[in-house]
Amino acid sequence: MKSEWCYFKEYFSADRCQQIINEALKLPEENPVIGKGGEFAVDDTTRRSKIRWIRRREPWLELFSDIDSLIARANNEHFFVSYNYCNAFQFTEYDESYLGEYTLHKDTFLTFPGPHRKLSISVQLSDPYSYEGGEFEFMDVGTAPNLINIRTQGTAIIFPSITYHKVTPVTKGKRYSLVGWYEGPAWR
């Protein structure tokens, strides 16, 4: 690996971000879960948010194509890991009404059977002035990314799924993001 993370500032336009938000809000809402003890569970002491799943099918194929290309570029320039695919993106809402947050975690479950998450992506969909708090932060990286840049609407940050990160509580307004995990052969 050449980098611990990379980002593409304003990869999506503000209009495209709003279009994604509008369409994703039409999808059914689900309870967010976390990997815990080899299973998935709801745990609102660790994660408070609302989620909707965007599956790899119409009308979302162009979005998947755009992000697939971005992941390939990031991997070729920064990470050099073996990965295969991402079946779904998670549209996530963090709201001030429940102090939406996701405490420190990593995105891969090394003890789970099957493919492992290799590369994670988080796309900032909200206008950064529409909410307070909700900072995306890494733990134990050599140099952290510029928080203003990664908070910029339309910015995509990509990192190995074994990297610890969090989203701080949203204290005012609402933050929307799009996250995904590109899976591949088990980490070794």
Structure tokens at 75: 């991997």
pLDDT tens, N- to C-terminus, the chain (188 residues): 999 999 999 999 999 999 999 999 999 999 888 876 667 778 888 899 999 999 999 999 999 999 999 999 999 999 999 999 999 999 999 999 999 999 999 998 777 777 899 999 999 999 999 999 999 999 999 999 999 999 999 999 999 999 999 999 999 999 999 999 999 988 87
Structure tokens at 62: 């162009």
Distance CA 32, CA 29 (A): 9
* Beta strand 131-133 pairing with 136-138: unpaired
Q: What is the torsional sign of CA 34, 39, 43, 46? A: negative
Options 1.10.3720.10, 2.60.120.620, 1.10.10.10, 2.60.40.10; which CATH number does 6-27+48-118+126-184 get?
2.60.120.620
- Spatial contact of 159 and 78, defined as CB atoms under 8 Å apart: no
Residue 61 has what pLDDT? 98
Residue bearing tokens 């999506």: 12
Which residues are 8's β-sheet partners? 156
Residue 38 has what pLDDT? 64
Residue bearing tokens 């989620």: 51
Q: Which tens digit of pLDDT belongs to each residue from 79-120? A: 999 999 999 999 999 999 999 999 999 998 777 777 899 999
Q: Taking phi first (over 0 means left), then psi (-120 to 50 degrees means alpha), and beta for anything else, what does residue 99 get?
A: left
pTM of this prediction?
A: 0.94
